[in-house]
Amino acid sequence: MEGTIFKIQRFCTDDGPGIRTTVFFKGCPLRCRWCHNPESQSFKPQLMYNGELCVNCGRCIERCPKGCHSFEEFSHSFKSENCIACGKCIAVGCNSLSVSGYNISTQKVLDEVLKDKIFYDSSSGGLTLSGGEPFAQYDFANELLQKAKENNIHTCVETCGYLRDDKLKAIIPLVDLFLIDYKETDSQKHKEFTGVENEIIIKNIKSIDDNGGKIVLRCPIIPGLNNTDFHLKGIADLTSNLKNIERIELEPYHNFGVDKYKNLCMKYSCKDVNVPTEDEKQSWVKLIKSFTDVPVKCF
């Protein structure tokens, strides 16, 4: 079976325990305002253009079948509306254009993942599915996880938790650790920030827990959006009743994704958010810890 991914990254050390290979799935049902991987939102391959690396050689203009590239006032302009991400515009030695996303079979992904088996075994690492939303390509994710388990590889899935509960329950035995997002306690705000309400997500977190799945709760904290006492207490409250939670991980806002939006000709509504200070981060940790005994890690 084939799926669409945009990257396989070896030697990941923040996506679960030990040394891991992370497979980034393309496509996500949510549209989080702060998303730092905008190339992961669409299910289709996309052309990315980095103007800072462009040397204005003009070779892409000649090669593009859809007329997406042009010179405007002596510098390169890329308009994505008609782009089919065929990649024909990318000339040898061009560093400014790249296609994000490609189709690949589960076997090919597994072959790549198996290359680092020796490092997983010595570090208690393994495979992590990330994205995008891995469960948005459910069958592909399912087959990949099955193959990993057949090869005794530890599995993690980074998920937004937004999927049908019967599908989730079926896949729990294949996942050694869920890195599941919890983004906002107030459901209406959740919808405002991500495009969907949070009831399904909260239900699924509890379902994973009830069915023995191990959980790390990952909480992006965005100043001005969800760094409220109400939500921080909500995180603590949710976790206090979970039996299989290992820890809470706070992921404070960072601005690494700003350039990617530009490269994809997309608008980024969080580009003016201030990166939180260490003191702010510590105040969040302190507040959560005052309501729960679950360990809290802040990146």
> In the complex, which residues of this chain contact another protein (CB under 8 A)?
9-11, 13, 18-19, 92-93, 115-116, 118-119, 121-123, 125
Cβ-count burial of 61 within 10 angstroms (0-12 exposed, 13-18 middle, 19+ buried)? middle
Beta-carbon count within 10 A of 62 CB: 10
Q: Judged by CB, which is closer to another protein: 43, or 119?
A: 119
Least distance CB 106 / another protein (angstroms): 20
Which C-beta is closer to another protein: that of 112 or that of 186? 112
Among 292, 294, 299, 259, which residue's Cα sits nearest to residue 276?
A: 299
CB of 208 to another protein, least distance (A): 27
Nearer to another protein, 115 or 203 (CB): 115
Query: Residue 86 or 94: which CB sits closer to another protein?
Result: 94
C-beta of 179: minimal distance to another protein in Å? 18
Distance CA 291, CA 274 (A): 27
10 or 44: CB nearest another protein:
10
As measured in angstroms, the least distance from the Cβ of 119 to another protein is 5
Q: What's the min distance (Å) between Cβ of 19 and another protein?
A: 6
Question: Are 190 and 197 a contacting pair, CB within 8 Å?
Answer: yes
Q: Please, what is the minimum distance in Å from the beta carbon of residue 21 to another protein? A: 8
Strands of the sheet containing 154-159, edge to edge, are 102-105, 2-12, 20-25, 126-130, 154-159, 177-181, 215-221, 245-252, 296-298
Checking 188-191 for CB contacts under 8 A at 24+ apart, the result is: 189/225, 189/226
First to last CA, the chain: 36
Nearer to another protein, 123 or 244 (CB): 123
